[in-house]
Structure 1
Amino acid sequence: MDDRDFIQSIERGFAVLLAFDEERVNPNLAELAAATGLSRPAVRRILLTLQRLGYVRNDGSRWSLTPRVLSIGQHYSASNAMIETAHPHLLELSAKTGESASLGALDRRDAVYVARVPVRRIMSINVSIGTRIPAFATSMGRVLLAWAPDAVVEDVIAGGMPALTKHTVTDPGELRDVLRDVRSDGWSIVAEELEIGLLSVSAPVRDRSGEVVAALASSTSVGRSSVEAIRSDVVPLLVETADRISADLGHRH
């Protein structure tokens, strides 16, 4: 895209919206300015514009999001046939495994949950639609990276791979080897690399053209299962379910 087509004011508006998170639920002007790197006058104008549009409200010096922001994600779900197609398969997979089933898509360096059937909370964070997790240290992310262009993988590596636990793969060469194994196997198991105690397994979902457009995942804890049990019991079921979703999206082997 030509830089002349880039609208910086929209970028700044989204930067302010995205600055609202678990740590800044009701931030003030100074906190939003610090989080975005924008000047206080610029943040104030953006907030007043968003307030007029109905996306934020203020209470004295504090600001908060309104329920209208949910419509952005709702419109994505409503316009994305993959989510509607995958949902009954997620329900079936969750019922068969007794564990949470999720669908994720790649967004830059993160895997983003776009559909989910939760069974129990097994992560320290509250996972919901829109939750982002680092692609390099998760089964969903590794499936998505395994079939992504090399430039995408190198961008993830360049962004840093910090040790999230003592088990996290942080060496770029080792990650590249892992991704080659994922492509060869057709699935990925990650044990305690994102969080201690968390086990997850993922398989690719393809569209009509054969492109990997999502990752289907099942998650559990070390107290409920093991890598060996997942490999023998869950992987065949997961791959079969991912293939059925792909077939519904028009993919033919």
Structure 2
Amino acid sequence: MDEAAGTAADGPVDGAAPRGDYFVQSLERGLAVIKAFSAAEPELTLSEIARRTGMTRAAARRFLLTFVDLGYVAVTDRRFRLRPTVLELGFTYLTTLSLPQLAMPYLVALSEELHETASVAVLDGPDVVYVARSGSRRVMVTGITIGTRLPAYASSHGRVLLAGLTDEQLDAYLDQVRLVARTARTVTDPAVLRELVAETRERGWSLVDQELEEGVTAIAVPVHGPAGEVLGAMNVGTHSARHTPEQLHALALDPLRAAVGQLERDLLLTGVRTGQQLR
């Protein structure tokens, strides 16, 4: 048997359990060689790689020299290091990611931390569209699911997204939208709404208390893309009987900002742009 395909002496990488007949052990071993490198130790000798992967020196050498020929690994003075070309292996996956996919782990963590509902929405015409959502064990009777459309002017998501528009775009929005009262608290005066949007733009967050639905209070922050554009908004919603607006602000704003900061780093790495978020 070819050593690179695995031998009895080498055994499964890292003591992995036996695989099915379909399993290509040589692929597993090749990936183990790549994963042997790290930021702390970007250069390794043949012996170090063989030890980390559990391979013989001969098997590790064959993989390394194959990666050298393919342009994924460079070697200088018997020390091996990854080349930037190795990024090609993950680039296709990264380019298929979208805002909802990237956001979900952070929404789940946020919901579990705060025991409230967390969601991401984007602006589509006069409405916000929910594209990702993680609910808490507490029930909020809102009927909101992925794809739900709600008026931007009355929601925390919407105020943040409107704040991301240019002045000209906001003027066009206010000229066209009908500000219909959803509750007794809904802002329906265009001048007041403009002031609230300007305030949101300045402070970087919006809290809307029972304007969209009685008993529902939510706070949102913008999600920026790699070029600084506002791709969407992330919010945390609660029932007003559980938290006052002041309590929700104190509870959720910092965790929201932390979650969005992590999401924006992912967006920077993947290059998700406006137009991809609804995938």
Q: TM-score range by the shorter chain?
A: 0.5 to 0.7
SS of 1:224's equivalent in the other structure is coil
Secondary structure of residue in 2 paired with 1:250: helix
CA-to-aligned-CA distance 1:130-183 (integer Å, 9 cap, x gap): 000100000000100001133432343222101111111111111111011111
Instruction: Give 1:200 deviation, angstroms.
Output: 0.5
Does the 8 Å contact 1:108/1:152 carry over to 2?
A: no
How far the C-alpha of 1:82 sits from its partner, in A, is 1.6
CA distance in 2, matches of 1:96, 1:107: 30
Partner residue of 1:110 out of 124, 127, 132:
127
The aligned amino acid for 1:238 is L
Structure 2 CA distance for aligned equivalents of residues 79 and 198 of structure 1: 35
Runs of 4+ aligned residues of structure 1 deviating over 4 Å after TM superposition are none
| Residue 230 (structure 1) aligned to one of 217, 234, 248 | 248
What is the rounded CA distance, in whole Å, between the counterparts of 1:204 and 1:228 in structure 2?
Answer: 20
| Alpha-carbon distance change, 209 to 91 in structure 1, aligned in 2, over 3 angstroms | same
1:7 corresponds to: none
- Of 184, 187, 191, which aligns to 2:209? 191
Percent identity (aligned): 36
Task: State the structure with more CA Rg.
Answer: 2
Please tell me whether the aligned partners of residues 109 and 156 of structure 1 are also in contact (alpha carbons under 8 angstroms): yes
1:170 to 179, 185, 188: 188
Amino acid at match of 2:200: V
Distance 2:166 2:145 in 1: 27
Q: Which of 240, 250, 253 is the aligned partner of 2:268? A: 250
| C-alpha separation in 1, matches of 2:187 and 2:140 | 21
From 111, 116, 141, the counterpart of 2:158: 141
Over 3 Å counting, the alpha-carbon distance change for 1:191 and 1:241 in structure 2 is: same
Q: Unaligned regions of 5+ residues in structure 2, if any?
A: 1-94, 270-279
Equivalent residues of 1:110, 1:132 under 8 A apart: yes
Q: How does 1:11-160 map to 2 (within 5 A)?
A: 81-119=98-136, 120-124=138-142, 126-157=143-174, 158-160=176-178
CA RMSD of aligned residues (A): 1.7
Indicate conservation of the 8 Å contact 1:102/1:218, yes or no.
Answer: yes
The CA distance in 2 between the partners of 1:218 and 1:92, in whole Å, is 12
1:123–1:198 contact (8 Å) kept in structure 2: no
What residue identity is the alignment partner of 1:222?
S
Distance 1:135-1:123 versus aligned 2 partners, 3 A rule: farther
**Matching residue of 1:181:** 199
Instruction: Report what 1:201 is aligned to.
Output: 219
Structure-2 change in CA distance of 1:145 and 1:80 (3 Å): farther
C-alpha change, 1:142 and 1:123, in structure 2 (3 Å) is farther
CA distance in 2, matches of 1:225, 1:201: 12
Give the whole-Å Cα distance in 2 for the aligned partners of 1:243 and 1:91: 15
Q: Secondary structure at the match of 2:232?
A: strand
- Count of residue pairs brought into register by the alignment: 173
1:99-148: CA deviations, max 9, x gaps?
Answer: 11101000000000001112244244x11110001000000001000011
Q: For residues 235 and 208 of structure 1, what CA distance do their matches in structure 2 show?
A: 22
Change in 2 beyond 3 A, CA 1:149/1:123: farther
CA distance in 2, matches of 1:122, 1:186: 26
| Matches of 1:97 and 1:239, distance apart in 2 | 13
Q: Which residue of 2 aligns with 1:69?
A: none
1:137–1:89 Cα change, 3 Å: same
Distance 2:105 2:140 in 1: 22
Structure 1 residues 178-205: Cα deviation after superposition (integer angstroms, max 9, x where no partner): 0111111111100000111110010010
SS of match in other structure, 2:247: helix
